[in-house]
Structure 1
Amino acid sequence: MTENPDAVELPEVVRRYLRAHDAHDVPAALAAFTPQAVVADDGQTYEGTVAIARWLERAGSEYTYTTTLVGAESEGLDRYTVVQHLEGDFPGGTVDLRYRFALDGGLISRLDIAP
């Protein structure tokens, strides 16, 4: 993983999603996904915009936390991994999560989130 997150130029759609998610802006975050996108998070899979919108609403309201971007790398054409450090009132209190993005047509087609 890159020590300096600025060393990798993340696509605008990834940066836009991360900003919207941090701001709990569900419509803006949802606009970063393709209509058939898939999100895998916390052992669950969410397919399509309706399911992803519900996941975004739940993820933004279930716990209070801060995020710090700690790393980013390109993993080939239209594939990026971002590592964020989260601190908050969720079980355990801190975690580093890897956000693995797959892009299609300038939008996120798949997002896998895991430690």
Structure 2
Amino acid sequence: MTQHNSLRSDLLPAAVRGFLAAHVVRDADAASSFFAEDAVAVDQGESFRGREQIHAFLRDAGSEFEYTTERIGTTRIDDGHWVVTLRLEGTFPGGVAELDYRFTIRRDAVAELVIANHGS
């Protein structure tokens, strides 16, 4: 069972809030703008380095499916590390996924994002 966290969105760093707002509406241009130039994003073990590769990843990931996204949890590890759990429901295989978006923030930008199955 998923534990819902009551941490308010406005307590997230601005880069995380901005990324999530853009990501939910699938605006890859805006979402990628919250990353540092030398950032790394990792999804399903595949790494994307630099804002240009991250932009392409965000633009293409899941584009063949229809789905909704709901934030169901937020954990602050420390000032530079946050985990946001999102629940996706849609037309992809399995129909439901809970994913942890693990953010590392450096100088008000996302330096690293690791996307993994919730709890893994």
Residue 112 (1) aligns with residue 87 (2): no
| Pairwise CA distance, 1:9 | 1.3
Find the aligned partners of 1:10 and 1:66 in 2 and give their Cα distance.
Answer: 21
45-54 or 59-68: bigger deviation: 59-68
Give the gaps of 5 or more residues in structure 1.
none
19 and 7 in structure 1: CA distance in 2 versus 1, 3 angstrom threshold: closer
- Structure 1 segments (4+ residues) deviating >3 Å: none
**Identity, % of aligned pairs?**
36
Aligned residues between the structures: 115
Q: Aligned runs of 1:1-115 on 2, under 5 Å?
A: 3-6=5-8, 9-59=11-61, 61-115=63-117
1:28-77 deviation digits (Å, cap 9, x = unpaired): 10110000000000221100112111101112523211011101011012
After TM superposition, the score normalised by the length of structure 2 is: 0.89
TM-score by length of 1: 0.92
1:2 CA displacement: 5.7
Query: 3-state DSSP class of the match of 2:11?
Result: coil
Unaligned stretches of 5+ in structure 2? none
State how far apart, in whole Å, the 2-side matches of 1:2 and 1:81 are.
13
